[in-house]
Amino acid sequence: MKILIILVLLNFLYSFGNGSNLNIHLVKNGGLKFGDKTICPLSYGGEDCSLANTTELCNHAQDPHYGEVGPICCWSKYRKQIDLTDLKLTDGENENKSENDKIFSIFETYGPFFDRDVDLVNSILEKDTFGEYKMKYQDFFQRNPNNNQIQREPSQPLGFVILIHKIDIDAIDNLFKVLYQPYHYYVIHIDKNFSDLNKIQLLNDYLKDLQAKGRATENIYEKYPNNIKISDLRFNGEWGTISLVYMELASYTVLFDMVEERSQATNLPSLFSHMINYSLNDMITRSLKNISRTLFEGENIDTTYLHCCMADVKARYDRIYYEDHKGVGISKNAISKYGCGIEAVPSKGDVLDGSQWHFLTSKFVHFLISSTKSLEKLFSLKFSMIPDESFFQNGQAIFNGPVEKRTHRATLWNNIRYNVSISDLDLIDREETFIIRKVYDNNVREEMIKRYNLLE
Ligand SMILES: *[C@@H]1O[C@H](CO)[C@@H](O)[C@H](O)[C@H]1NC(C)=O
Ligand SMILES: *[C@@H]1O[C@H](CO)[C@@H](O)[C@H](O)[C@H]1NC(C)=O
Ligand SMILES: *[C@@H]1O[C@H](CO)[C@@H](O)[C@H](O)[C@H]1NC(C)=O
Ligand SMILES: *[C@@H]1O[C@H](CO)[C@@H](O)[C@H](O)[C@H]1NC(C)=O
Ligand SMILES: *[C@@H]1O[C@H](CO)[C@@H](O)[C@H](O)[C@H]1NC(C)=O
Ligand SMILES: *[C@@H]1O[C@H](CO)[C@@H](O)[C@H](O)[C@H]1NC(C)=O
C-alpha cells in the first residue's frame, strides 16, 4: 500500500516534471535562483540580487540609449575578469568537468537573464535523480536506440518548423495542401504576442481533422501518434534578438519528442533526415516527395544545407546589444567610462554568419539542443545583433558535420517587389531551388501546383 502511494506520488511529481522542477527562477537585476544557489551580477548580492555594492563603478553605468545598465555592465566586467574566451567554459581545460558544473558556469557568466532565457532552459535542461543539472536530450539516442538510424521505409520523414505570428486558417490550409503527409513531422510555433485563444482552438480543430484524414490513408499510419504539434512554449519574436533562435530550439525539442512517441508506438526507427524551417509565405518548387527523395539520396542524408560567411558584419559582434535593442548597441563610451570590461562576443576569429534559411540534419539539430558547447555558444551570442544569422553557422563549426553552402532556397532579390508573380515562374531555377520565399498570392500558388506538379 505504502509503495503504491509512493509510486502514485512519484508519478504525480513526474508528470509535473519537465521544467517546473528545474528550480530556476529570475530574481532582481537579471540574476537567477539556480537550484539552491543564487547567481548575481558582479558586485550585486543578497537573496534576490537586490543589494549593490555602490563602491563598484560598474553598477552605476548609464547609457544614452538604454539608461541604467549596471547589471549588464557588471556582468560584462566579470567576463573580462575571468579572461573569457571562445568556449572556455566547456572545452579545453574545462572539457572534463561534470555537465552540472559546466552548465552552472555558463549561467554564472552569461547574465543578465530574462524570462525568455528561463523558458528556453526549461525546455532543454533537466535535473537527474541526484539533483544535478544536465542537457535533457543528451541521451536521446541511448534511450531510443531504434532511432540511431534514419527511417527510410516505408516513408522518408522530414521535420518542419513553421513559425507564424497570427492564425489565418486559409493560409495554413494552403500551406498544408502541399506540405502535409502523415509521416513527416510538423511543429507550429505561434508568436507569444498572439493571444486569441478562439483562433488557437480553431487551428487545433483544423489540425486534428487533417491528421485524422492522414492516418486513414494507409493502414501503417493508423498507429502513428500526432505528427503536428503546436509548441506549448512560445516566445515573442523580436527582430534582431536571440528570441528568434529560442523559438527554433524549443521547436526542435518538440520534434524530438514526436520522434520518441512514434518510435515507441510503432517499434520502428522514426527519425527524420532534415529539419526545414518554413513560413506561410514560403512555397516549394518541387513536390515534397521529390524533396525528401533528394535529401535522402547518397551523402545528402548527412549534409546540412546552411549558408555562411557574409562580409562586413563585425559591428554585430563587437559591442553589446541589450534585449529589445532595435539595432542600437551599448555605447563604447559608457563601456570605458564605467569599466564594463569586454564589449564583444568571445570568439576565436570572425564570428560566422549567413542566412537563417536552412535544412539541418537531425544529428546536427540534436547537437544544438543537447550539447553544453552549443549552450555556451548560444548564450555567448545573446548580446549580439541578429544572432539568428550566426548561431547555426557557429554551431555547425563546433559540430563539424558535412555542410553544403547551397541552401536550395531562393528569394527574388532582383525583383523590386521580392514578391513572386506568375510571370516569374519561368525564371525559377528548379535544379537549384527547392523552396522560394515571398509567395503571397494564391493564384500564384495554384499555378505553381499545376505547373510544377507539386501534388505528385
Ligand atoms: C565593494 O566593492 C569594493 C570595490 O570593488 C571592494 O573593495 C569592497 O570590498 C566591496 N565591499 C563589499 C562589502 O563587498
Ligand atoms: C579529459 O579526459 C580525457 C580522457 O580521460 C583525457 O585524455 C584528456 O587529457 C582530459 N582533458 C583535460 C583537459 O584534462
Ligand atoms: C505585441 O502586441 C502589442 C499590441 O498589439 C504591441 O504593442 C507590442 O509591440 C507587440 N509586441 C511585440 C514584441 O511584437
Ligand atoms: C528560420 O529561423 C530563423 C530564426 O532562426 C527565422 O528568422 C526565420 O524567419 C526562419 N525561417 C522561416 C522560413 O521560418
Ligand atoms: C526532382 O525534380 C527535379 C526537377 O524536376 C528532377 O531533376 C530530379 O531528378 C527529381 N529528383 C528526384 C529524386 O525525384
Ligand atoms: C505582391 O504583388 C502583387 C502585384 O504583383 C500585389 O498586388 C500584392 O499586393 C503584392 N503583395 C505583397 C504582400 O507585397
SS3 39: strand
Sequence-ordered list of residues with C-beta below 8 angstroms from that of 349, at least 6 positions apart, any chain: none
Give the ligand 3 atom nearest the CA of 238.
13
Spatial separation of the C-alpha atoms in residues 204 and 308, rounded to whole Å: 37
447 lines ligand 1 (CB under 6 A): no
d(CA 370, CA 136): 7
Axis-axis angle for helices 197-215, 169-179 (nearest 10): 20
Closest approach atom of ligand 5 to CA 431: 4
- Dist CA 288 CA 242 (whole Å): 30
C-alpha cell at 12: 504525480
Atom of ligand 2 lying closest to residue 96 CA: 1
* pLDDT recorded at residue 15: 41
Would you state the pLDDT for residue 17? 39
DSSP 8-state code for residue 323: S
Distance CA 370, CA 264 (A): 21
What is the number of the ligand closest to the CA of 420?
A: 6
Mutational pocket test of ligand 6: of 417, 418, 425, 439, the residue with most ligand atoms within 8 Å of the beta carbon: 417
Residue with cell 535544379: 431
Residue 10's pLDDT is what? 47
- The CA–CA distances, whole Å, from 72 to 42, 116, 134, 216, 439 equal 9, 16, 26, 55, 41
Domains of the chain (ranges; CATH) run 22-136 (no CATH), 142-309+354-451 (3.90.550)
CA 381 to chain centroid, in Å, comes to: 13
What pLDDT does 68 receive? 94
Contact between residue 26 and residue 113 where contact means Cβ atoms under 8 Å apart: yes
C-alpha to C-alpha distance for 351 and 317, rounded to whole angstroms:
7
Q: What is the largest CA-CA distance in the chain?
A: 74
Name the residue type at position 325.
H
Pocket test for ligand 1, best of 40, 54, 56 (most atoms within 8 A of CB): 56
Tell me which residue has its CA closest to atom 7 in ligand 3: 193
DSSP, collapsed to helix, strand or coil, labels residue 13 as: helix
Q: Can you read off the three cell numbers belonging to residue 362?
A: 537531425
Residues with CB under 6 A from ligand 6: 417, 419, 421, 440-441
Is the separation of the CB atoms in 230 and 257 below 8 Å? no
Question: Best substitution site from 96, 99, 101 to test ligand 2's pocket, by max atoms within 8 Å of Cβ?
Answer: 96
CA 243 to chain centre: 9
Residues 188/216, Cβ–Cβ less than 8 Å: no
Q: If you measure from the C-alpha of residue 65 to the centroid of ligand 3, how many angstroms do you get, rounded to a whole number?
A: 21
Decide whether any atom of ligand 1 lies within 6 Å of the 81 Cβ. no
For residue 419, which ligand has an atom nearest its CA?
Answer: 6
Which residues of the chain have a pLDDT value below 50?
Answer: 1, 4, 7-20
Number of alpha carbons in the 13 Å side-chain half-sphere of residue 11? 6
What's the confidence (pLDDT) of residue 48?
A: 96
Is any atom of ligand 5 closer than 6 Å to the C-beta of 451? Answer: no
